[in-house]
Chain A
Amino acid sequence: MRLDVERFSLSFVRYDGVLRQRSIQVLHDLTFQLEGGEVLALVGVSGAGKSLLAHALFGILPPNARSAGSLRFDGVPLDDATLPNFRGRHMGLVPQSISHLDPLARCGRQLAWAAERSNLRLTKAQLAERLSTFNLPRTVAHNFPHQLSGGMARRLMLAMATVGQPQLIVADEPTSGLDPKNAENILRTLRGMADAGCGVLLITHDLVQSVPYADRVAILNSGRLVGMETARSFSGAGDELTGDYARALWRAAPQNAFTPEGPIDA
């Protein structure tokens, strides 16, 4: 599988006064590729517009969003006509927070619905098996989302995103709010999926945490792509990094104990 993002821009139309409307651009001219078998980490501070890219890929932007440029999956442009065939079946989304689960539906049911949406009918036993693959106890099926811990909810959403065996997985901040152990667990699972042939787009604000699991790292700042590095080059003092911004970001990480030399965030 192959994902092409080409000169993709995104803006929103807002009311600025009583009748005056204004357009605010949030993503500028993004271009990158993602192939099966690799994990691409898209790193940026919160508010940089990372989640919007994920929403754009799945065609779930709010109505006042305007986009330009192209998004292609295996060469097919993703638009309202083609997306219904891709969503769930070829592309899976791991959303950001527990608010993406229906608060009034039992978890087992939501997993079964996710399967149905990928044209699969799961038996009770298969459902339980899916849950245990992601280290979730069987009882989770009878729970409501608010009864799950953060880590369990994340694993459930991972189970839902992957139930249709998609070739592309987009994970939107899958580790935010999790303790290091749970976070590593999630990242390791994503890495495993890439090793099995999937393309994984890992959207995160945590550079240091994602580097060990990624093949490449794209850095987003104020809606612009400011660097594309191999994950390997994030080591030592970051001398192998090609971009200044990437180097500054790497050195600024508390674990690396370097003093920042440049602007971290505009």
Chain B
Amino acid sequence: MSDIVDVETPPTTGIWTTNRAATLGAATLGFILLLGVAVGSLSLGSFGLDADFAARLAAPSPGHWFGTDQMGHDMLARTVHGLAVSLQVGLIAATISVVIAAALALFATTCGRWADALVAFLVDVALGLPHLVLLILISFALGGGTTAVILAVAVTHWPRLTRILRAEILQLRQSDFVLASRRMGKSWAEIGIGHFLPHLWPQLLVGLVLLFPHAILHEAALTFIGFGLEPSNPAIGILLSDSLRFLMAGKWWLGLFPGLSLLAVVLCFDAIGNGLRVLADPRREQS
């Protein structure tokens, strides 16, 4: 299809270990942590979003684990809110991406050679621009805002998954049941919906989970450079961008903790993705 190398998702076998039980354990732990963020942000309500001018720019303490910002907001609460925003944006964007990828992969493999060539070209074009430049362009076109960020992230991330799914389907095409269906006179479109799609579910799920971290990181980057979400919406990118203003004054906690939490969330998703990969295809992942 396209000979552009996949640079962004390097091959890994898990961070700490190749041991299967540990991989699954890490996945479960990751899931629980993410659930914690979601539940935490819901139960916090608007706590931490109200200003408390008595406690402005306070360093981390037992009362405020992550310290407070210039308005006296509790940074832990803001970080949890920010992560929840990231999770929402990531979930919607990654889902849209997966749908696009699945549709294009099916189109490329079932609608003839020209369809395949067209999809290959689209992948080339989408990967021909650095992601961030494309993100800026799309965000600019839509005039910024949350929807713009979601759409920008969604339409930037389908190419890699499209390629993986296409390769997977091409393998499926050679299998006996597909050949049998062909002989029974079924069209490729019917086979695509009837046979390929059900077989791709595990791939789609793993793809979704592995897209998530990219989506979240790009959302944060876009927000950080000033394109994304409204400043009232305390996304992690905005927290980090704000932290730059107080960096010279030595308020290090404003930048450290939100970034660390974002990193933790990304690693949680990776752990879940690796766990799912083992579950989806236990035999292939032999060491």
Q: Which residues of A contact B (CB under 8 A)?
A: 14-15, 17-19, 63-64
- Write the nearest CB–CB distance from B230 to chain A, whole angstroms: 45
Distance in angstroms between the alpha carbons of A246 and B287 in the assembled complex: 38
Task: Say whether B278 faces chain A, with CB atoms less than 8 Å apart.
Answer: yes
Distance in angstroms between the alpha carbons of A14 and B286 in the assembled complex: 8
Give the nearest-CB partner of A20 in chain B: B282
Contacts of A17 in B (CB 8 A): 282
Task: Say whether B195 faces chain A, with CB atoms less than 8 Å apart.
Answer: no
17 residue pairs from A and B, CB less than 8 Å apart: A14-B286, A15-B20, A15-B282, A15-B283, A15-B285, A15-B286, A17-B282, A18-B20, A18-B24, A18-B278, A18-B279, A18-B282, A19-B20, A19-B21, A19-B24, A63-B287, A64-B287
Distance in angstroms between the alpha carbons of A95 and B24 in the assembled complex: 39
Known: A15-B282, A17-B282. 8 other contacts (CB 8 A): A15-B285, A15-B286, A18-B20, A18-B278, A19-B20, A19-B21, A63-B287, A64-B287
Distance in angstroms between the alpha carbons of A42 and B21 in the assembled complex: 41
Distance in angstroms between the alpha carbons of A64 and B278 in the assembled complex: 18
**Which chain B residues (236-287) contact chain A, with CB distance < 8 Å?**
278-279, 282-283, 285-287
Majority-rule SS of A interface residues: loop
Interface string of B3-44 (1 = CB under 8 A from A): 000000000000000001100100000000000000000000
Distance in angstroms between the alpha carbons of A17 and B282 in the assembled complex: 6
A-B pairs, 7 with minimum CB distance: A18-B282, A19-B20, A19-B21, A15-B286, A17-B282, A18-B279, A15-B282
Distance in angstroms between the alpha carbons of A195 and B285 in the assembled complex: 48
Contacts of A18 in B (CB 8 A): 20, 24, 278-279, 282
Contacts of B283 in A (CB 8 A): 15
Distance in angstroms between the alpha carbons of A64 and B19 in the assembled complex: 13
- Write the nearest CB–CB distance from B139 to chain A, whole angstroms: 42
Give the nearest-CB partner of B283 in chain A: A15
Distance in angstroms between the alpha carbons of A150 and B68 in the assembled complex: 73
- Write the nearest CB–CB distance from B280 to chain A, whole angstroms: 10
Give the nearest-CB partner of A62 in chain B: B287
Distance in angstroms between the alpha carbons of A14 and B285 in the assembled complex: 11
- Write the nearest CB–CB distance from B281 to chain A, whole angstroms: 10
Contacts of A14 in B (CB 8 A): 286
Contacts of A15 in B (CB 8 A): 20, 282-283, 285-286
Contacts of B287 in A (CB 8 A): 63-64
- Write the nearest CB–CB distance from B259 to chain A, whole angstroms: 35
- Write the nearest CB–CB distance from B277 to chain A, whole angstroms: 11
Contacts of B286 in A (CB 8 A): 14-15
**Which chain B residues (186-231) contact chain A, with CB distance < 8 Å?**
none
Distance in angstroms between the alpha carbons of A17 and B285 in the assembled complex: 11
Give the nearest-CB partner of B278 in chain A: A18
Distance in angstroms between the alpha carbons of A128 and B166 in the assembled complex: 50
Distance in angstroms between the alpha carbons of A18 and B285 in the assembled complex: 10
Distance in angstroms between the alpha carbons of A18 and B21 in the assembled complex: 9
- Write the nearest CB–CB distance from B10 to chain A, whole angstroms: 22
